[in-house]
Structure 1
Amino acid sequence: MSEIDYLAKRPEVTQKLNKAIKEQEQKKAERAQGVRGGGGGEDDESGEEVSGEATEQEVALFVDIGVMALKDVKDVEMQTANPPLLQKGMLHYEGGWPKEIDVTDDEQKQRYCKKLEKEEGYTQTILGLCDTMETTILQNSAIDIYEEYFEGCEGLGGEDVSSGEAGGKGGGDRMLKVKSEFKDQHDRPALDISIQKQQQQERFAVAYGPYYYQQPIKSHDSLIWNMTSSSSPEQTLNCYSPAVSVDFHSRENSLLCCGFRNGTVGCYDLRKGPDCICTTDVSVSHKDFVTRASWINSKTHSELFSAGEDGCVKWWDIRNMAQPTDFAYCDPTRRNEPQNALVVSCLDVKFIVAGSE
């Protein structure tokens, strides 16, 4: 449908068209009467048949067509071709080598590296790359991996703290850092630690137990940890009572003595398994829990001391644990009576020194 046909069907346009058609018909009729009355004259130029509908030319004479709402008409229509898109990846196995160098041949790469080292300007190029690399590293501001946590603190320092000279005040610039974290799966508090240094590896024993006597505990076992592996313990020692004190033998690397909460003392041989090889009887042991068990230097390498809450220090030989070799009470009156004994909280076997609360 053309725009003229569309406008011709509107009411206001139709009224104008009908009015114009009637005026045109009247003019034609008057002309026709004048021809008949005059008996001749000029021929009727409008010999066309008058119809009730307006033609396109007539509508165009009386209608003002707006062009604001007309549809756009394309003179030329074309479809451009889409560019092909491909997704590709690249495996950077080893780069920086010339094309003639086979990266899978180590000998060929070594020869090429030696050839480069002999060229002039090699040293200056390496020094220039070091400056560039240092600048790039310092630009990493996301995580400050070079942060000095104890900057400005006295007593922390770098070389020899015992000399008291390095690092100025406090004996040097030594830094304290956590190397590894050894965590018990039962979250028990550690009561005592004994470190053993060997030629090939370092390990330590930990006694776990409750702080208070009636506090419940999930496990009585003590653990042997290797310093090179913090994920799991190297060995688990089966303890019939929570261990309060542990001590590695200074010469026999496989021997370990323990003081237990029930007052007994036991000895473990790590080569023979996780169970005690010998233990004291409850009747001859401490009347309260053991505070310290420690080996002493002897010719037989089988003697140890133990101290307890009952105020008694006992001398044991693991070759015969039925009875203590000797014992003494921490009695300030020097009467060696248990009712006057003070609690022995610490023990040093080098000079047989006992401390009390």
Structure 2
Amino acid sequence: MEIIYEYKKKRRQFGRKPQFSPTEPTTLIDSKPTPQIAKQFVPLNPLNVGVQSMPECAAKEVNTAVKDFGERGMCHLEGGWPQDVNPTKIDQKQRYQRRVEKDTEYVETLRSMSDISDHYVKQNNALDIYETYFSNKKDKDSKKGAKGRSAAAPGGKKTSNIDEVQSVVKLCTESSAATVLTVFKDVEQKQRRSVSSLSWHPTDGKKLAVSYCAPQYEQVENMNMNSYIWDVHNPNKPELALIPMSPLTCIEYNPKETPLLIGGAHNGTLFVFDTRRGSHSVDYSHMENSHNDPVYSVSWIQSKLNNEVVSISIDGKMLFWDIRNLGKPFEEYNLEITAANKGYTGLMGGMALNYDTSYSTSKFLVGTEQGIACIFNRKSKKQDKVEKTYFGHHGPIYAVQRNLFFNKYFLSVGDWTARIYSEELKTPVMETRYDSTYLTSGCWSPSRPAVFFTTKQNGELDVWDYLYNQDRPLVSVKLSDYALNTIKVFDGRYLACGAADGSVHYLELSSDLSNYVDGERQPVDSEKRILEAMLERELQRERTLEADRIKREKDRKRDEAQEQEKLKKQEANTQHEQEEKMRREEELNKLTDEYWETVQAEVDTSVVSATEETTD
């Protein structure tokens, strides 16, 4: 039972409002300590106690249930007409349709069905609370302002390259990012497989071919050999499985005939797949005429029927194939250098290949196991098909690619650095700083000239923008605890990175890195001018340094030759002095012997004379 008593009092009974004023302090109570109790006081040691004012939080992960989605199609054929109506005659069909449309039952049925359809259609009219409704106006205003700024500076003066660089730097520093959209997990869960290669569908970018093999190309018994084609909008299940007779180490879409794919296998053979004819390969090469080691890279080359491919391996062979007859390659070359003036002689193992038809249809850029990048000319009339060699890496080169805007410059990735070369010099024009871990792959951006990507062994993806910074990457993303083996870019907007645990990360780049605004690609004329000036400046600097190195080398050789000539002269003078000394010693010895012989003869003569006198 609850008892409540209310106290009621009128406002006038509260009393006057208190007023406070400052006064001098006065002592009210002075309490002295008791001596007997003070003797019992014992001071304690200092004690520090930490108190956390914020609540403790724990990180937890929840994996939602995965639903399997499937695609179904229906083929509708014309039918259901009465027997007195011939579907092949249009006039009979039209008369029957007009008669049915006038039927009241047909009208009522159509009205009832339209009400149901309208009800369910309106259910999809949901409001997107995250949609930005006024982005177009803001973008247009920013474009107008940027256009006005780039057209002329205050005072009617045109902007310089410095202003353009500053605008690019400001754009990069504001919103640079690489966002992971989804992750494709390997269907094989019993054995860990590594992603060995990636290839985008050449046209739409919605399909991604992924090849899998054992980590470090090891031979594993009873391993799943399938590779897959993934739909980027369905990460739960691959769209198509590719079934070879050996695990694929590389794969590539045909740029013209998109249903065709070529794959290089662990046993050195090639497999041709046609997505229109199912999962199994339509043809494959014979082992006795193929590579002796795993195929590290394969590429389609330009031909009249788009049916020729080239493959390389660390066995030093470069094979050219016609997919209509994979029994034997129609051309075979060795990646071998015989000329002594190229800095290296011997056979080289190919690991990375780049073929760019906009540069040449007969020249191939090859990265080798020896850390040498070389240009292979298929139509060279010389016996040595390797025209040029480029040095600098301390280990195998895992990726090479020409810049899509400036073909004479190319990127190579190996050991701890990524290097940019010019065809005119053997040494790199520019290079990244040495990283603490190995670099495994890399490529250029097809939409921005100064942007390129590198993957590392610790699972990180680095996005470099050389207009912004040459010392460190603009964006660095940790994607996996395993090494990232390969990377491929589609249209400059989307990235795919394959890891050693069999996962493929699908990423989207921000607008400043992809150069896309509202889905439209922006011009890069100013960036091309700035990058070209930068590369030409570095090229001129390297030429000057190279000329200085050559001059120092000539001076050193000249000094060595003069030193050797001087030593030869000293040796000749020393030898002459020794010979002269020996000659004098011989003459002295000869004179000494002659003197003693004369003395002895005189002694003998005097003895004989004395003996004769004594006898007389």
- TM-score, with length taken from structure 2: 0.30
1:240, CA displacement in angstroms? 0.6
Residue aligning to 1:231:
236
Letter of the 2:311 counterpart: S
Conservation of the 8 A alpha-carbon contact between 1:305 and 1:349: no
Residue aligning to 1:343:
349
- CA deviations on 1:128-154 (whole Å, 9 max, x unpaired) are xx9xxxxxxxxxxxxxxxxxxxxxxxx
- CA deviations on 1:244-281 (whole Å, 9 max, x unpaired) are 00000111110000000100011100100111111110
Give matches, 1:30-179, under 5 Å: 165-166=167-168, 168=170, 170=172, 173-179=175-181
CA distance in 2, matches of 1:306, 1:163: 41
Q: Does 1:326 align with 2:347?
A: no
Deviates more, 1:246-255 or 1:169-178: 169-178
| Distance verdict in 2 for CA 1:175–1:346, change over 3 Å | same
| Distance verdict in 2 for CA 1:282–1:215, change over 3 Å | closer
Q: 1:245 aligns with which of 229, 233, 250?
A: 250
| Distance verdict in 2 for CA 1:176–1:327, change over 3 Å | same
Residue aligning to 1:354:
366
Conservation of the 8 A alpha-carbon contact between 1:311 and 1:343: yes
Residue aligning to 1:271:
276
Match of 2:338, SS?
coil
The percentage of counterpart residues that share the same residue type is 27
1:287, CA displacement in angstroms? 1.1
CA distance in 2, matches of 1:226, 1:172: 32
| Distance verdict in 2 for CA 1:318–1:334, change over 3 Å | farther
Letter of the 2:307 counterpart: S
Residue aligning to 1:301:
306
CA distance in 2, matches of 1:284, 1:334: 28
Residue aligning to 2:288:
283
Larger radius of gyration: 1
Match of 1:181, SS?
strand
CA distance in 2, matches of 1:299, 1:197: 19
- CA deviations on 1:73-112 (whole Å, 9 max, x unpaired) are xxxxxxxxxxxxxxxxxxxxxxxxxxxxxxx9x89xx9xx
Letter of the 1:313 counterpart: M
CA distance in 2, matches of 1:341, 1:325: 21
CA distance in 1, matches of 2:346, 2:290: 18
1:185, CA displacement in angstroms? 2.4
Structure 2: gaps spanning 5 or more residues = 1-115, 123-128, 130-163, 357-362, 370-616
- CA deviations on 1:39-63 (whole Å, 9 max, x unpaired) are xxxxxxxxxxxxxxxxxxxxxxxxx
Conservation of the 8 A alpha-carbon contact between 1:265 and 1:279: yes
Comparing both structures, which one devotes a greater share of its residues to helix?
Answer: 2
Give matches, 1:311-322, under 5 Å: 311-322=316-327
Q: How many residues align?
A: 198
Letter of the 1:356 counterpart: T
Letter of the 2:256 counterpart: R
CA distance in 2, matches of 1:347, 1:248: 15
CA distance in 2, matches of 1:248, 1:164: 40
Residue aligning to 1:221:
226
Letter of the 2:270 counterpart: V
1:167, CA displacement in angstroms? 5.5
Conservation of the 8 A alpha-carbon contact between 1:312 and 1:341: no
Conservation of the 8 A alpha-carbon contact between 2:250 and 2:298: yes
Conservation of the 8 A alpha-carbon contact between 2:244 and 2:271: no
| Distance verdict in 2 for CA 1:163–1:352, change over 3 Å | farther
Conservation of the 8 A alpha-carbon contact between 1:220 and 1:241: yes
Letter of the 1:352 counterpart: F
Conservation of the 8 A alpha-carbon contact between 1:313 and 1:330: yes
Conservation of the 8 A alpha-carbon contact between 1:167 and 1:173: no
Letter of the 1:212 counterpart: Q
Residue aligning to 1:182:
184
**Highest relative contact order (Cα 8 Å, sep 6+), 1 or 2?**
2
CA distance in 1, matches of 2:165, 2:305: 38
Residue aligning to 2:212:
208
1:204, CA displacement in angstroms? 0.8
Conservation of the 8 A alpha-carbon contact between 1:236 and 1:274: yes
Match of 2:288, SS?
helix
Structure 1: gaps spanning 5 or more residues = 1-103, 111-129, 131-161
Residue aligning to 1:101:
none
CA distance in 1, matches of 2:367, 2:246: 24
Letter of the 2:303 counterpart: S
Match of 1:165, SS?
helix
CA distance in 2, matches of 1:323, 1:263: 13
| Distance verdict in 2 for CA 1:175–1:214, change over 3 Å | closer
CA distance in 2, matches of 1:173, 1:213: 39
CA distance in 1, matches of 2:241, 2:309: 22
Conservation of the 8 A alpha-carbon contact between 2:202 and 2:255: no
Conservation of the 8 A alpha-carbon contact between 1:302 and 1:319: yes
1:163, CA displacement in angstroms? 8.3
Conservation of the 8 A alpha-carbon contact between 1:241 and 1:260: yes
| Distance verdict in 2 for CA 1:172–1:328, change over 3 Å | farther
Match of 1:212, SS?
helix
Letter of the 1:211 counterpart: P
CA distance in 2, matches of 1:180, 1:167: 29
- TM-score, with length taken from structure 1: 0.51
